[in-house]
Structure 1
């Protein structure tokens, strides 16, 4: 989490006994590492030592959104790969599903991202899946006394309880945006206004007047405007902590340092 430097791909680093970001809890639902490795192998065969793993991630992220019906955006290249990867940094810096609004705002501000970026980038939750431990406390034990989160729609909560019969169920797959897990659209925001945001961090966006106003503006505007704004936010995030010049390296294998 030192920036956009491909550190999440590392299996191990030169730091003795250091667990990498890949094994950190926030990254345990991340998939596609083998796909990135295949892309790297193809590029190394054609132009060895030129294209970084960090650039491959940035480009693949953009293309995956396009393939789900979302927008394209400009992806500047020239990033270099980091040599360090620390699981504790992922735990402390990646927004967690349990984060409240104040924590989310601070974590984004630490990366020079504002509330508009927070709302826009959260829309990535319109695609993909989660597992029960990331939100089951909202169903069974929000305050440690066996209570349910009152900010969660009751019908939605009942449906989730039928699927997640245990807070520790790590195998059941739950769509972050039901019916839209493979389609990039505005339905994530519609669900938030219906109190059907899966995570506490999702519903937190509706309890701040600034972010709630922006959500409503996105829903009342055109899909083209949303796509354009999302692309700009992704470009901005893609410039966080970039390594260039003689900093870092171009890894030959994305999973290990040279």
Structure 2
């Protein structure tokens, strides 16, 4: 992971998102990796679900898994590989260390329909978000805490474009966005015609958002934090100012209880957020794990082992 992180320091967010999308659907069982649902070619797999089409980190986990198979064949599951690699990526990004229990096994099937319906969306309101997290056993504080993972990474302008111009079909921008931040985002997400073919974002975006590798992507979750730069509580400080990047983020201020936890996490040097994030990630990484004789240890993460 240290080698991978040295080459792409935004991999931490990619793996956090990959772990979340895996664990949120039927537990941490590496079902999100499958290209083939146990021989059923007519059944769509999780990777094909809309929320999963932009997932990153799968190739990196495949590379790590290949080395593990060379060292100790059939011992370390893809689910364990993802959980351990994500924890190390968080630490490399300056986040907190947390213990990872091992012994997970891999699912033999994938869950396309569940991934389409049950992964929280960027435009979900606070009621929808709390409902989906509560079904996995997370309370309001844990939900606010886990969304703090958005403090690192990069995101496509496509996820927020409607907030800037035509929010919920109103023809107006999202009123919850700070006006100055709205102008910054509009500049950063200018029409692709204003960028060169190689995807260099217009100068303001490069200066304020950090250099980007895609015309439709800017870095960081605040106007001045480049991708992977800090693992701290600036996410919550931005929410208090109306500078939440995604609608689902800013919606944490729309509920009295979640807004209270935002204020708690924003109020110190990040110690409270980091402590709680460690606990939340232990809980997340243990959701619905397969152990014992359940599941299998795949040789390759993309394909289940054929049952004789």
State TM-score, norm by structure 1: 0.94
Select the residue among 19, 28, 36 that pairs with 1:12.
36
Select the residue among 173, 198, 204 that pairs with 2:217.
173
For residues 23 and 163 of structure 1, do their structure 2 counterparts lie closer, same or farther at Cα, with a shift above 3 Å needed?
A: farther
Deviates more, 1:221-230 or 1:247-256: 221-230
Deviations 1:137-193 (A, max 9, x none): 1112112132110001112112222232459x9951123413152121111111111
Structure 1, unaligned stretches of length 5 or more? none
1:220 maps onto 2:267 in alignment = yes
The 1-side partners of 2:282 and 2:173 are apart by: 38
Deviations 1:40-89 (A, max 9, x none): 11111111111000011111111111011110101111000011223332
Report the alpha carbon displacement of residue 209 of structure 1 after superposing the two structures with TM: 1.1
For residues 166 and 118 of structure 1, do their structure 2 counterparts lie closer, same or farther at Cα, with a shift above 3 Å needed?
A: farther
Q: Which residue of the partner structure matches residue 199 of structure 1? A: 246
Structure 2 counterparts to residues 54-203 of structure 1, below 5 A = 54-165=79-190, 172-178=216-222, 179-182=225-228, 183-203=230-250
- Whether the 8 Å contact between 1:180 and 1:187 is mirrored in structure 2 is no
Deviations 1:204-245 (A, max 9, x none): 101111111111112223533321110000011111111111
- Whether the 8 Å contact between 2:97 and 2:278 is mirrored in structure 1 is yes
Report the alpha carbon displacement of residue 28 of structure 1 after superposing the two structures with TM: 2.8
- Whether the 8 Å contact between 2:239 and 2:249 is mirrored in structure 1 is yes
Q: Cα RMSD between the aligned structures?
A: 1.8
Q: Which runs of 4+ in 1 moved over 3 A?
A: none
The 1-side partners of 2:91 and 2:301 are apart by: 24
Secondary structure at the residue paired with 2:47? helix
Secondary structure at the residue paired with 1:112? coil
Q: Which residue of the partner structure matches residue 234 of structure 1? A: 281
Structure 2, unaligned stretches of length 5 or more? 1-24, 193-198, 200-213
Report the alpha carbon displacement of residue 251 of structure 1 after superposing the two structures with TM: 0.4
State TM-score, norm by structure 2: 0.79
Secondary structure at the residue paired with 1:124? helix
The 2-side partners of 1:132 and 1:88 are apart by: 26
What count of residue pairs does the alignment treat as equivalent? 257
Deviations 1:117-144 (A, max 9, x none): 1111011101111112211111121121
Q: Relative contact order: is structure 1 or structure 2 higher (C-alpha 8 Å, sep ≥ 6)?
A: 1
For residues 39 and 198 of structure 1, do their structure 2 counterparts lie closer, same or farther at Cα, with a shift above 3 Å needed?
A: same
